[in-house]
Amino acid sequence: MSDIVIKYNKLNKIARQEVNDFLDFLISRQKTIKTNSFSTYKNKILNVSVWSGDDCKIFAENQKQFNQWNIQEW
């Protein structure tokens, strides 16, 4: 750990800020990985909407009407 501190202290102000920004990025990424557990993923999947047969009947009826549509010829 002391090697890191020595190297960090040798950096100029701009380089130190880059290191700090990168560390913040790594910490934020680590937090999101921990929160995305399997149970959270499972709950998201279970909340996906599902269409019933009645919902799909509307599309079948629209398809029938679309196929019966007389196209105007030029």
Chain-centroid distance of CA 28 in Å reads 15
Distances, alpha carbon 69 to alpha carbons 61, 64, 66, in Å? 13, 9, 5
- Give me the pLDDT at residue 51, please: 87
Q: What is the pLDDT along the chain (74 residues), one digit of tens a residue?
A: 689 899 999 999 999 999 999 999 999 888 765 655 778 888 888 888 888 888 889 999 999 998 888 888 87
Angle ∠(13,19,21) on CA atoms, nearest 5 = 100
Q: How many Cβ atoms from other residues are within 10 Å of residue 62's Cβ?
A: 10
* pTM reported for the whole predicted model: 0.42
